[in-house]
Structure 1
Amino acid sequence: LADRIARPFLIFVLVAAGGAGAYWWSHDPAHALMVAVAVLVVTCPCALSLATPAAMLASAGALARRGVLVRRLQALETLAAMDTVVFDKTGTLTRDAFALGEVRTREGVCREEALAMAAALAQHSLHPVSRALVAAGQDARQGDELPPGFWVAEAVQESAGQGISGRLVNTGKQAVAVSARLGSARFCGVDLPETDLLHACLSDDQGWIATFELREDLRPDAQAAVAALVAEGVQVHLLSGDLPDAVTRVARQTGISEARGGCTPQDKLAFLRGLQAQGRKVAMVGDGLNDGPVLAGAHVSFAFGQAVPLAQAQSDFVVLGDRLDAVVQTLLRARRTLAIVRQNLWWAAIYNAVCVPLAVLGWLPAWLAGLGMAFSSLLVVLNALRLSAAIQPLETV
């Protein structure tokens, strides 16, 4: 905002100083230089220059103490204009960790070995489902039923929003190596009955090996955070690559009316572009590898501290904790920051509107103009420091 004002203001300052100097040179040459200097000093754009950065830095400091890192200060101004927030589901509205439920395996494969094979692939991914399978695989290795040796994954490739593929080699069996896939049923080429439960499949060249059911819980403040956003006039959407029934269930629990499941990263980005084409100002909140493109495509974006590095690199804000109310509080703080910036700019405008004519008329000596400039800058900084106040968390429902 200040950048849009700075250029015309600079032109005005130079014209005013030059005009005042020329006028006084023809009427009183002894005072011409001092009048021109007084105009330059009194219009020294300190208040204007400090109006935005002082407020932004004060807000960034308060947010950092609240556990939100501001990676781009200009994003606060952008966030203040947001009217739409799009949430990812897994690891965002739900907790980052999953609990392993039922494990179904094909004949001849025990539960522990299926977990060991899945964990070998999953350890190459940062997705919350992968982390849950790695933890379960480590527990399985401590049991007595796991065959000797262990599985090692080679040539692993991760397909965003779909799964992981690679070559599995068992170190305890001679010449045992299989090409395996871990991920969605479609990615693994498996037909599963319709269900709203979250699951991951494991397959090899012979077909289906195992299905792992996983349980996820909502973050305790998810419902309160969504309600607070709606109360602020923000439209909330939920996009996820998980099964539509599972996404609908989470949307119902959190009070989100607009939800879509089964989305690929390209689907998410296309949906975001559609909102932007309607003139919506969109903020994206996500933490997964498949959220990278949509985080980069949003006007402003959030990632959690546990997010994959790509998601954090594409985001404007990084939430270090695990509370969703940090997103709401950042939005509220951004709006208050913009209000303080406007107050500072109005003060700078009023100050210059009063003092410039006095300097041009020769009624404001240079030393007094310097004091006025310093006082106006001090007032702007003190006003911005009001943004350093502690941010209170929302009450969970």
Structure 2
Amino acid sequence: MRILIIKLSPIEAITSSMFRTLAIARGLSEAGHKIDYLVVPMNKLNSVSSEKEFIKELNVIRTSKSEAYEKNVINAENSFKALRKQILRKIWHSLSVYDYTYLIAKKIKIDILPVREYDIVISSSDPKSSHIVVENLRKQGLRYKRWIQYWGDPLSIDITQKSIYPQWVLRLIEKKLIKNSDKIVYASPFTLSKQKELFKDYKDKMVCIPTAYMEEEIYPATDNQKFIIGYYGNYTARVRNIMPFYNACRALGDKVSVAIYGDSDVKLQATPNIAIHDRGIVDEHKRIADLLICILNSSGTQIPGKLYHLAGTNKKVLVVVDGEQQQEMREFLLSFDRFYVCGNSQEEIENAIVSIMKDNKEFLPLPELRYDYIANRFIE
């Protein structure tokens, strides 16, 4: 089949949503399908991931840049322009439910595609403007047999949503977005349940398919003098509470060596046993780590994609559950028989790490989360 995947992010960027979409693309490509993959160009605000060999098998199509956004936000370099950049970004995100790629989605022309007819079109968010592209191209003559929408955070219950609009307005916008799709895929069973409740007219085309890992990562056994722990991911205060983990690691002192990689508005202080880094490539640290950490969101129904990517390794993984559905999430995660799970308190995390340090259990990547298996489920 010929398949068009639309993901309005740079294909080189380090984001969980790009990794899960690339996992689907890889699985479909290796199954013999022809993949056109529509993305936006890189800009200076993006962090770059290590290059994946299988991307060469995809027909990557890059849109043009948004000149207004590049001029006023990306390329603001002196102090006045930097301040203006911050103000413009805040205004944009308060007045729009989409990011800057909305400007690209509305202007994109069908001539950018090599063909006008596909067996399947897959639009993947975030950004949510990826779905708008399909509606725009439909009006210009795009034809397909099925349109599958792949959602990370839903629009109206997205805890990262910063717009000024009330929930009922966001739901109207979201209803319009999902209306014409043939299948809607969510990565969390809790999100699926909530969405079926909110959008009863479309519940029969909604499914939950867990996030696939993009590639298996098998590492040799470690022989570290100290127990090495890695946390790789953003930890914005309103989304994720990293402080209990941070404080637990401080309390453990020289028993552990910890590295935290990620963007945040929380200013953590480095200590003799805790290193703090911006978001970046973590391949080398992951190779030597004894334990990988995933902290779930403080509220909402979503499960961070990084959890499933970590399941593609043979490393020990501790998942720290949080929010109003802690017990349900704990039961769901334990059903995989792959993760250690604890609550988001300093005492629980500290006790869990000490217990894991003594545990000789070995793990392998979960076969039911392999990219090829999940890609096949995706187009069923």
TM-score, normalised on structure 2?
Answer: 0.31
Judging by fraction of residues, say which structure has more helix: 1
Which is higher, the Rg of structure 1 or of structure 2?
A: 1
